[in-house]
Structure 1
Amino acid sequence: MKPVRSLARVMLSGIFVVSGVRNFQHPERLVPTAQPITDRVAPLISNVAPQLPTDTTTLVRANSAVQFAAGLLLATGRFSRPAALVLAGTLVPVTIAGHPFWKNDDPMARTNNQIHFLKNLGLFGGLLLAAADTEGKPGLRWRAGHRIGHSRRSVTRAVRTARREARIAALSASTARRLPG
């Protein structure tokens, strides 16, 4: 199953790597589309980290750089689960800003944006699957639960052993007192 997972990750990440590079080099074509979203996000960024730039061009470039880097991580299988989550997070504002089909009056533009919106929704679903994929290994939740169960059993065993040894010691002491000596 490993080759299928590897190929699927590369195929899923391809669009993010390519568009990340393209949008980083030429952010100006996306600035008018991204402006409504960045205008809402900029005050939040200023409140959390006032030293960070909040202009639309920089935010488009930052999103593109994140998509490129996370796309490469996903493609190579390094930190693929966190990378998939990061990509899913970057896809939300891109989809809302880039394909608002509900705002289009022209039927052709509406259909085109709706198709791209649904495509991004499909990519989002694929990224969620990639983020949940443990590659056949137990996930953190299972491992934690298993470790807790193992620890409980160990403690229970230790308590039983201590009780048994205490009983044996008590019996030995009482037997030793009864013996003439």
Structure 2
Amino acid sequence: MSLIRFLARPMLASSFVIAGLDKLKNADDTAAQLSPILRRASESLPFPADEKMLARMIGGAQLGAGALLGLGKFARFSAAVLTLTSALNTFVEWRSADISTKEGRQARRAQLLKNISLTGGVLLAAADTAGRPSLAWRAEHLAIDARKATGKQLKRADKAVRKAVDNVVGA
């Protein structure tokens, strides 16, 4: 792991770890923020939505994925989880912010920009292959190499058949 990744991952993850702990400690507050969204979503869900349980799940996901990202373990997967929770968090906080005053609107804007920045950061971390090729790149190049190898083998077989024909005809 490079020095930059060694330093940047824990720095990025720290915000999510703290937010996850906060969501776990204050599940009632988070549930209250989630309530308007869950009311709309519960109409299409085949099961009842428990706001407090969902708040704990989001907090646990942020805490766990943040810790894994900070440690550099399953970094791409944990960054993808954090991207989803961050996007959800951005939407929920934006909707529930107090905009009745000028200060409230400014705070809402600052929080929105912070959340968008964090989402962008974990999105970059999710795409980071740490200098190693991605699975898609490896599969694509394995297929290309297989086609090349098959072509070479066909050429060799063609030469061998032509040589055998020449030997039979020439004899």
Q: 1:102 deviation in Å?
A: 8.4
Q: Which residue matches 2:99?
A: 104
**Secondary structure class of the residue paired with 1:100:** helix
Per-residue CA deviation, residues 111-149 of structure 1 (Å, 9 max, x unaligned), is 101101110000011011111111112222322222122
Distance 2:107 2:97 in 1: 11
Distance 2:136 2:88 in 1: 30
Q: Count the aligned residue pairs.
A: 171
Q: Identity rate of aligned residues, in percent?
A: 33
Distance 1:64 1:23 in 2: 5
Distance 1:19 1:130 in 2: 18
Q: Which residue matches 1:22?
A: 22
Q: CA RMSD in A?
A: 1.9
Q: Which runs of 5+ in 2 are unaligned?
A: none
Q: Which residue matches 1:114?
A: 109
Q: 1:56 deviation in Å?
A: 0.7
Amino acid at match of 1:83: S
Amino acid at match of 2:42: A
Alignment of 1:158-169 (within 5 A): 158-169=153-164
Q: TM-score, normalised by structure 2?
A: 0.91
Q: Which residue matches 1:179?
A: none
Distance 1:30 1:101 in 2: 10
Q: 1:101 deviation in Å?
A: 7.9
Per-residue CA deviation, residues 56-105 of structure 1 (Å, 9 max, x unaligned), is 11110111111111111111111111111111101122111112388723
Q: Which residue matches 1:37?
A: 37
Q: TM-score, normalised by structure 1?
A: 0.86
